[in-house]
Structure formats: C-alpha cells, structure tokens
Amino acid sequence: MNKPLLGLDVDGVLNAFSEPHLLPEYTEYHAGGYWVLMNMDQHPKWIAELEEHFDIVWATMWTHKANEFIAPILGVGPYPVIDHHDIPDNIDERKLYAIDSFKIATIDPYIGDRPFAWLDDDISVTAKTWASARSAPTKLVAPDSLIGFERHHVDELIEWAGSL
C-alpha cells in the first residue's frame, strides 16, 4: 500500500518569516536570490522522520527551485514537485483569488484520490472547504509562519498517517 502524500511548503514552514535574532536556533542562508531562515538542528531530522510515513512532494511556490536551493541546504530530497505555475486548462484563473487557490488547482489533479496531508502556513477557508469535500482522507496543518513547523506538527502528521 502506498504511503499518504505530504505536500511540503517552504515559506512560513521551512523558511520562518521572522528576524534571525528572534530565533537564535535558526540559521540564515542565501538561497536562489533570497534569504531564508531555517532550523537546521531540527528540520532535516523531522523531514527524515516524516519520510518514513509519507511520500513527500514539494507543494510550494518555489516549485522546482525547492529541489535546487532548499533541499541541498537541508540535506533532503530531491522530491517530486507540484508545479503551481502549471494551472490546468480547465481552471478559470479569474476564480483563483488566494495563493492557496492556485495551489489547490494544481494539487488536486496531482494527488488524485490518494490520502494527502498539506503542511502550509497559508491554509484558508478555501483550502478547508476543498479538503472537507475530498473523498480521500485529507489533513491540513498550518504552522505559525513566524516560526515554521515544529515538533508537535510532526507528531500530528505521523499520528494521522498511522490512523489510515
């Protein structure tokens, strides 16, 4: 049996939207023309732990650049990419207002009917409505974007995967 998919975002999840001095355990890196702030003591270990329970796929506006710039810093992946710039032809782009609407328009056809967990700091009502309408089990986890994902998020995801 396949593992559930885990859609992994970068900004606000792996890259904390905070000031480096406020998160002394995090390290600032220059990646792809941007500065990113990541918890190098924990995030690589937690991602490796999640790999035991999930097939991880990048679900980030970084798209393929996540494998090019973020994965090497963390020592993970490469992972498949849900390319959020590749909106399916049958989607009316005028109806895609929120950032997660663009993501949903590309995530939904990619994941099909597989169980899916989405680790993204920007989970809106649109995403919650979409998730509740899916026939396959779906878990949404939204970390605080100032900190990124934490240990309790890992535990929550592993518990959910184990319940399937």
List the domains of the chain with CATH numbers: 5-162 (3.40.50)
Paired with 151 in beta bridges are none
Q: Is 9 helix (H, G, I), strand (E, B) or coil?
A: coil
Strand partners, 29: 36
Q: Decide: pTM greater than 0.85.
A: yes
* Spatial contact of 18 and 37, defined as CB atoms under 8 Å apart: yes
pLDDT in tens, 12-67: 999 999 988 989 999 899 988 889 999 999 999 999 999 999 999 999 988 899 99
Burial (0-12, 13-18, 19+ Cβ within 10 Å), 88: exposed
Q: Which residues contact 98 (CB under 8 A, 6 or more apart)?
A: 122, 124, 126
Predicted local distance difference test score (pLDDT) of residue 49: 97
What confidence tens digit (pLDDT) does each residue in 122-140 have? 888 888 988 999 999 999 9
Among left, alpha and beta (phi > 0; psi -120 to 50; other), residue 91 is beta
Cβ atoms within 10 A of the Cβ of 164, count? Answer: 13
pLDDT in tens, 81-91: 998 665 555 55
- What CA–CA distance (Å, rounded) separates 53 from 149? 17
